[in-house]
Amino acid sequence: MMTQYSSRSQLIIILLVLTLVLTSCYFPPDLPTPIPVRPEPAPATGWLEIYFTNPAATHAADYEGGPDEILAAAIDQARLSVDVAAYSLTLWNIRDALIHAHQRGVVVRMVMESDNMDIQEVQQILVAGVPVLGDQREGLMHNKFVVIDRAEVWTGSMNYTSNGAYKDNNNLVRLRSTQVAENYTAEFNEMFEDNLFGPDKLTETHNLSLTTSSPRSTRRVKGIDGTLVEIAFSPEDGVAPLILALLQNAQESIYFLAYSFTANDLGDAIRQRAADGLTVAGVMDESQINSNQGTEYDPFQQAGLDVRRDGNAGLMHHKVIIIDRSIVITGSYNFSASAEDYNEENVVILYSADVASQYLAEFNRVYDQAQP
């Protein structure tokens, strides 16, 4: 009996040892990459929201809740589609939001400036299966806009890069409007589906018919609160004449923040309105003043206008004009011949004193840091 009991004990011990060995060799199946928890988008304050970067921040906590985080959170909430037109993209949170949207079945599409497609973050988006089309043109695909669920549009001057979000002066506008989204979707489809960029859109064939692009609604849209929004795309819409008419009709004041300003006709109009007695003040990016041929900074100075060099170690990257404290022009469009004739650009004109007051506050912050 003693021998039989010992044999059974040995057998049990052997089975326990085998179980432990097999358990230690078990490899669980691959799990999907967890989606990082991001803050919910800021509570909606209406159909229109405006955000500014904070390059003067001195602590990492000061960047929390910045424009890039709010945009990434909005992409995380997308249910149907995300269309992105990006000059450049290096922000990890935007990269991750686009990849995760694609992984959960949202239709994600991108068009980009071809020269920036070899960036690591863009290649990771491509590897994840998101289609990205480069413009392959001499002019720049200079847009920076996102259309989410064909119901809201994010646009402005901010490139989706770490410098754009953290070091440069930029603005980002969120427009919850299916009409605005319809316009931007049509513009996106001309690029992504029809492979038409820049001057291509001015060809006779394009003007006669387009079979794949969405029809474009009126470019003048009334917001929920009655705010008038005007949308224009370059080069097909003639943005410069539109801005010129607004400048010439200014009655009280013109304030501007300009990364690049080489457009003589717009400069002439501003100088003329200053000579007519209007209040005029501006801030221009110092690096562009020093490098641009034909910069308007020198003529502004010679005319005695209060136009300053920016004081930001990064870029003063705004492309903003505020007219009569009631009209704001913003977007990707620099005030230059390249933006007017060759690049892919977009402009939003907001007719609202409330909106203008927000941009005037940003103007004052940038102006106070600038140097004559």
Dihedral pair phi/psi, residue 171, rounded to 5°: -130, 150
Model pLDDT, residue 19: 47
**Domain presence at residue 234:** yes
**Domain presence at residue 35:** no
Model pLDDT, residue 8: 54
Model pLDDT, residue 99: 98
Residue with tokens 């990082």: 36
**Domain presence at residue 41:** no
End residue of a domain, out of 176, 208, 240 = 208
Catalytic residues: 317, 319, 324
**Domain presence at residue 173:** yes
CATH number of the domain that residue 130 is part of: 3.30.870.10
* Co-location of 183 and 236 in the same domain: no
Residues 6+ apart with CB under 8 A from 120: 90
Beta bridge partners of 322: 255, 328
Model pLDDT, residue 28: 34
What predicted TM-score, i.e. pTM, was given to this entire model? 0.86
Model pLDDT, residue 202: 87
- The neighbour count for residue 90, using CB atoms within 10 Å, is 18
CB 80 within 8 A of CB 149: yes
CB 306 within 8 A of CB 349: no
* Co-location of 92 and 187 in the same domain: yes
* Co-location of 272 and 337 in the same domain: yes
* Co-location of 337 and 359 in the same domain: yes
* Co-location of 350 and 232 in the same domain: yes
Give the pair of three-digit tokens for residue 164: 């754009």
* Co-location of 86 and 201 in the same domain: yes
Model pLDDT, residue 7: 56
* Co-location of 197 and 225 in the same domain: no
* Co-location of 225 and 363 in the same domain: yes
* Co-location of 112 and 187 in the same domain: yes
Q: What is the mean pLDDT of each run of 10 residues along the chain (372 residues)?
A: 49 49 37 37 69 85 82 98 98 98 98 98 98 97 98 98 97 97 96 96 56 58 91 95 97 98 98 98 98 97 98 98 98 98 97 98 98 88
Query: Structurally, how many domains does the chain consist of?
Result: 2
**Domain presence at residue 88:** yes
* Co-location of 202 and 305 in the same domain: no
* Co-location of 203 and 226 in the same domain: no
Question: Rounded to whole angstroms, how far apart are CA atoms 11 and 290?
Answer: 86
Q: One-letter amino acid identity for 86?
A: A
Omega within 30 of 0 (cis) for the link into 67: no
- The neighbour count for residue 240, using CB atoms within 10 Å, is 22
Model pLDDT, residue 124: 98
What range does the domain containing 263 cover?
220-369
Buried b (16+ CB within 10 A) or exposed e, 175-214: bbbebbbbbbbbbbbbbbbeebbbebbeeeeeeeebeebb
Dihedral pair phi/psi, residue 201, rounded to 5°: -70, -10
* Co-location of 300 and 174 in the same domain: no
**Domain presence at residue 299:** yes
DSSP state at residue 199? G
